[in-house]
Structures are given as structure tokens and as C-alpha cells.
Amino acid sequence: MNDKVQNIEPNSERSEALNDLSNVYENLVIEHLQKVGGDLSPEAQADAACLALNKLPPKYVRHAVDWMFFISASELEKINRAVDVAVTNAIARVLDNPPLAETG
């Protein structure tokens, strides 16, 4: 076991400010996945979300309104295209390799 990675679960002892951190792509991926992958099981949706998020760069903010106020329309379009590609590819991969719980 790697000694440097001890726990990936949220730490309840963190400050409230640190708990405000979020990856912008998480909500965008989940919202898009619910639109285009609504027929997938919850397990398959979660797998697809993980796959898609791992293909996108991290974009952490404290408050979503902060980045939405400062982002240009062209940058937002670029982000939305990247989300669409990542989610579409993730869904295809999950459909080719369904979660073990679904294969019996």
C-alpha cells in the first residue's frame, strides 16, 4: 500500500472554506450525463462520470458564480464541447464494458 495516499474520503476536520472547493467539471459532466445517458443504470452512470472526469482537466473554484462571471462565451463553448466528447466516449466505453453487478 502506498504510504503517501492514506485516505481519499472527505475529511470532516477540514475548514468550511476548504469544503467549498469544487471541480467545475463535476456538475457539468453529471448534468450532461443525465441528459444523454438517462437510460443507463445508476452504476453505469457513475462509472461513465468517473471515466469522463478523468479525461477532463481539473478546474477548481470556491464558488461557481466566480468562474461563470469571468469566463468568456467562447471558453464556455470550448468547455461544453469537451464535456460532450468526454461523456459520449465514456458512455460508449461503459456500454462496451458494463458494471459487474449488471452482467450477473
- Residue 76 belongs to a domain: yes
Q: How far apart are CA 64 and CA 20, in angstroms?
A: 10
- Residue 75 belongs to a domain: yes
- Residue 42 belongs to a domain: yes
Residue 4, pLDDT above cutoff 80: no
Residue 19's pLDDT is what? 79
- Residue 4 belongs to a domain: no
Q: How far apart are CA 45 and CA 34, in angstroms?
A: 8
**Domain total of the chain:** 1
3-state secondary structure the chain: CCCCCCCCCCCCCCCHHHHCCEEHHHHHHHHHHHHHCCCCCHHHHHHHHHHHHHCCCCCEECCHHHHHHHCCHHHHHHHHHHHHHHHHHHHHHHHHCCCHHHHC
pTM: 0.79
What pLDDT, in 10s, does the model give residues 5-56? 555 565 567 787 787 888 999 999 999 999 999 899 999 999 999 999 999 9
Residue 104, pLDDT above cutoff 80: no
Q: What range defines the domain where residue 37 resides? A: 16-103
What pLDDT, in 10s, does the model give residues 52-99? 999 999 998 888 777 778 889 999 999 999 999 999 999 999 999 877
Residue 54's pLDDT is what? 97
- Residue 10 belongs to a domain: no
